[in-house]
Structure 1
Amino acid sequence: MSNWIEHVIWWHVYPLGFVGAEREAGACAGIVHRLDHLVRWLDYAVEFGASGILLGPIFASSSHGYDTTDHLLIDRRLGDNADFDALVAAARCRGLRIILDGVFNHFGRESPRFQRAVAAGPQSPEAAWFRLTWPPDGKEPDCATFEGHHQLVTLNHDEPAVVDYVIRVMNHWLDRGADGWRLDAAYAVPRQFWQRVLPAVRARHTDAFIFGEVIHGDYAGFVDETGVDAVTQYELWKAIWSALNDRNFHELAWALGRHNAMIDRFVPQTFIGNHDVTRIASQLLDERHVSHALVILMTCGGTPSIYAGDEQAFRGIKERCAGGDDAIRPAFPVTPAELAPFGWPIYRLHQELIGLRRKHPWLYRAKSRVIELRNTDLVFEAFDEGNRLWVALNLADAAVVRTIESGVDRLAGAATVHRAGGRTELTLPPHGWAILG
């Protein structure tokens, strides 16, 4: 992997929602060229500080994109190969990297390959692609599915043809201009499968960034055993909003200790929002703490992503029901000028904090050291080798006064700072925060 990843801030886009595509691919009679809608937003992404676009599913699928029917075709609700090439070219001329979302644990049930496997019977070569149990009466077989979802049929990752197919797909789109892959549901795939796939991809694309979706468990062990560059840091995501809601910074301090141990082994992909979770502005009980969540994200080690719309304080609650993701995957207007006015202050805060992170690129590998800790206020030091910043957060309804044993200046936030004798006394207003260095 090239060191370009050390400088990336991802803007995470769910394309089918972003462009306002039909819910079902069957409702789209032919190819509709919609990827140019995203192209019109690339300057906006650059202006708030993004240096890469982390794309959700763009390949042919039946509905939400994670029920892929053909990994070598662009979803007709988004466009075709020429539209993808135009998106890559537009991103390149703005210095933006592109990551694709690879759904390699399962196919959609409507995939032609699965349909052929069922029709041809248990002895067919394509039947070996899936985990099928054939009944004696010759009717449609039972098949393993992803977490009980009938429409998502699990691939047989022991089958060499599946290994070859995933290698071919990953290399095909990297050849075409992508810079890496997010491996969807990577945790559900046998680790030895990634051991067979990723070396073949890296042999051809040495600077590709490849990370896996992992929610629970031993993150570092997964990285070591699969060869991915990173995994999604759900532990930190949960600790950030939970600590802010419960006014319990002890939970965050514990998670930062866990995060430090990961940084020793790999650099996680960090976030406070994505296409699968309630938006941070809705998740937090006190909207004043959206800024605190962003401050933590931007001062912790990691490769951070901003979920499109979070930089405008979009609201949206994920629900466990049919259509439960709709609120967090909305269509975006034709241009940024059509956004509501109330979101622009948080957009400008993103600009400020991403700008600060760019001035301190060592934050990519930063660890955290707790200096002062109480339920409702926290001071921690972000450090890497000789580089240091201090972060102070207050959730209380009253101001707090804290001391840093160094002479530092306020770099961002609203604290009042008084330096004396090599020490710094800072006063944080109610629900305030500051970054110092």
Structure 2
Amino acid sequence: MTPANPKSVPWYESAVIYVVDVKSYCDSNGDGWGDLRGLISRLDHVQDLGVDVLWLQPIYASPFQDNGYDVADYLRIDPRLGNDADFDALMDAARERGLRVILDLPLNHTSNQHAWFQQARADRHSEYRDYYLWRETLPENPSPYVVFGEKQNGRNWAFDEQAGQYYFHTFYPFQPDLNMANPAVARAQHEVARFWLRRGVSGFRLDAVPFLYEDTSSLEAIPDPHRFLRDLYRVVRAENPEAILLAEANKEPHELRPYFGENGDEMQLLLNFYQCNHLFLGMARGMAEPIQRGWNELPEIPRDGQWANFLRNHDELSLDRLSESERQEVFAAFAPDPYMQVYGRGIRRRLAPMLGGDVRRLKLAYSLLLSLQGTPVLTCGEEIGLGDDLSLPEREAARTPMQWSDAPGGGFSSAPRDQMVRPVVEEGPFGYRQLNVEAQRRDPESLLCFIREALAVYKRNPELGRGQASFFDSGHPGVLGHRVEDGNAVLVLHNLRGEPLEGQLEDAAGLRPLLSDGQSVWSGGTRVQLAPYGFYWFEKEAR
């Protein structure tokens, strides 16, 4: 196999994406909310980490009843986060550091405070009435797809007193769904995309993409469900030929391929929920088979399509791609108490507490993430093993602020604790006095230093982003052996168990060590003595 022509390789295939919840990242003015100026002050950390792309979670005007995914105005920055000048300053500062910026864009629904909905509910003859989905009476099945159970009143229809009708909401009642069959809605959303692309962003992460065209309300009757995605792709590429669309589409493997488009003309990247589920199942069992099976069941995708791999994000760790018995195995391993679980399908903990704060297991997990072919996605705080606060409701538990130092407020904010957007973790091994960026910078064995080193190795070996992944017999069911090849190849062994194991390579000729846990031993042959939760990466040059 010959190496791909670098000029033909899309930039996102060897990029690293870093997700930032601006309001929880760094507070520049002491009001308890992180803001754009605070993010600017921490861009040197982002650059030093080795990432390429900032994915900003919603920064639009919002009541923030659902972490900003309840948008009240797509064209206005929430004043608690900053203003237009702050955004322009962020774009300039990011550009100076070689960082791209993409925005989270929830298009399936708005806040009930959005001007569109306010005008729609006030007047049945308003042009905005048909922006949403209305009924005079409840349908026979008022709960076709309840995402959050009783948290959304157990159904998908809510009565609006002012409108005198029921409206449809896939998610919470304060998030009415937009009518995707209405061409005026698509035109308005295209204008939103153009607005931000013209301000310099490099694309969008699209929230809840399946619900943009799956007619769970039975009212939309969209004749060509993928037309909206194709049209959006054309709008985005017309403004910026290098811009990307990254989709949240948590579906079964056979349902994923269409999101890329028949001709690769819809999404460029899909978040890899399916592989994430099977990676956690493999770690729970200490077995390579689920990880290998999960990968092999993924569909073939277009040449310019890409999987965006991740371990945790700002939501629950949704395990709905596993069977019920498999899900219970993962719960037992990583969230044994019911209060650690949510919605009957997910875990509301961050990764570090799930793994007991064991740095060996954390390094193993990130080694898996970075060595499985694709574009890795890290959520802010993962680089230091940030903890969680299970006293907070639902998914809020895994959205606590970044911890920069052992100063009061963890360096996130100088505001009193009760004025912070969310409280900083104070007590225990994940409290900010023990766990913070400054402390880990000084510790060469820290998770932060390892992730920085591993990202550097990832960037020096672009085949990890754009190559072809395959698996080989490692000689032990608890050891995952895989390779990623695009001319040159990277071969990796991972010990998924807490005991020393021997891993077997196919061929030792031409191998060069790239990265390891520091305790595993390779003496030049085909056998590698892997420490508990150990791993070893090798480079093999093309002949």
Q: TM-score if structure 1 supplies the norm length? A: 0.89
Q: What code does the residue aligned with 1:327 have?
A: A
Instruction: Please list, as runs of the form range in 1=range in 2, the aligned pairs for 1:3-402 lying within 5 A after superposition.
Output: 3-19=10-26, 34-63=35-64, 64-120=67-123, 122-134=124-136, 139-147=163-171, 149-190=172-213, 191-217=226-252, 218-224=255-261, 227-259=266-298, 261-262=300-301, 266-277=305-316, 278-284=349-355, 287=358, 288-316=360-388, 323-333=393-403, 338=411, 339=436, 343-344=440-441, 345-373=446-474, 374-384=476-486, 386-402=487-503
Q: What code does the residue aligned with 2:400 have?
A: P
Q: Secondary structure at the match of 1:125?
A: coil
Partner of 1:425: 527
Aligned residue pairs total 422
Q: Secondary structure at the match of 1:273?
A: coil
Label 1:91 to 1:198 Cα distance change in 2 as closer, same or farther (>3 A).
same
Label 1:4 to 1:35 Cα distance change in 2 as closer, same or farther (>3 A).
same
Q: What code does the residue aligned with 1:267 have?
A: Q
Moved more, 341-350 or 99-108: 341-350
Label 1:129 to 1:290 Cα distance change in 2 as closer, same or farther (>3 A).
same
Matched-pair contact (CA < 8 Å) for 1:51–1:96? yes
Label 1:2 to 1:175 Cα distance change in 2 as closer, same or farther (>3 A).
farther
**Structure with the bigger percentage of helix:** 1
Q: C-alpha distance in 2, partners of 1:343/1:213? A: 32
List gaps (5 residues or longer) in structure 2. 1-7, 138-160, 214-225, 317-348, 412-435
Matched-pair contact (CA < 8 Å) for 1:19–1:332? yes
Q: What code does the residue aligned with 1:307 have?
A: T
Q: What code does the residue aligned with 1:133 have?
A: R
Question: What's the CA shift for 1:18?
Answer: 2.4
Q: C-alpha distance in 2, partners of 1:403/1:243? A: 19
Matched-pair contact (CA < 8 Å) for 2:101–2:202? yes
Residue identity over aligned pairs, in percent, reads 24
Q: C-alpha distance in 1, partners of 2:163/2:178? A: 20
Q: C-alpha distance in 2, partners of 1:395/1:255? A: 16
Q: C-alpha distance in 1, partners of 2:101/2:91? A: 7
Question: What's the CA shift for 1:123?
Answer: 2.1
- The question of 1:412 aligning with 2:515 is answered yes
Partner of 2:326: none
Q: What code does the residue aligned with 1:401 have?
A: E
Q: What code does the residue aligned with 1:59 have?
A: Y
Q: C-alpha distance in 1, partners of 2:354/2:468? A: 26
Matched-pair contact (CA < 8 Å) for 1:267–1:301? no
Q: C-alpha distance in 2, partners of 1:2/1:418? A: 36
Label 1:258 to 1:436 Cα distance change in 2 as closer, same or farther (>3 A).
same
Moved more, 410-419 or 105-114: 410-419
Q: What code does the residue aligned with 1:366 have?
A: G
Q: Secondary structure at the match of 1:316?
A: coil
The Cα RMSD (Å) is 2.8
Q: What code does the residue aligned with 1:232 have?
A: L
Q: TM-score if structure 2 supplies the norm length? A: 0.72
Moved more, 304-313 or 262-271: 262-271
Moved more, 45-54 or 96-105: 45-54
Q: C-alpha distance in 2, partners of 1:228/1:68? A: 22
Q: C-alpha distance in 1, partners of 2:54/2:364? A: 24
Matched-pair contact (CA < 8 Å) for 1:2–1:206? no
Moved more, 47-56 or 273-282: 273-282
Q: What code does the residue aligned with 1:402 have?
A: G
Render the CA deviation track for 1:367-415: whole Å, top value 9, x for unaligned.
322222543212222222x211111111334322233212223221133
Q: What code does the residue aligned with 1:417 have?
A: W
Q: What code does the residue aligned with 1:271 have?
A: F
Q: What code does the residue aligned with 1:13 have?
A: V
Question: What's the CA shift for 1:244?
Answer: 0.9
Matched-pair contact (CA < 8 Å) for 1:19–1:38? yes
Q: What code does the residue aligned with 2:350 have?
A: R
Q: C-alpha distance in 2, partners of 1:331/1:238? A: 26
Matched-pair contact (CA < 8 Å) for 1:195–1:227? yes
Question: What's the CA shift for 1:334?
Answer: 6.6
Label 1:2 to 1:205 Cα distance change in 2 as closer, same or farther (>3 A).
farther
**Structure with the bigger percentage of strand:** 1
Render the CA deviation track for 1:20-63: whole Å, top value 9, x for unaligned.
69xxxxx99xxx89310011111001111111111100101111
Label 1:166 to 1:403 Cα distance change in 2 as closer, same or farther (>3 A).
same
Q: C-alpha distance in 2, partners of 1:379/1:10? A: 25
Partner of 1:24: none
Matched-pair contact (CA < 8 Å) for 1:34–1:79? yes
Q: What code does the residue aligned with 1:284 have?
A: L
Question: What's the CA shift for 1:206?
Answer: 1.2
Q: C-alpha distance in 1, partners of 2:283/2:60? A: 37
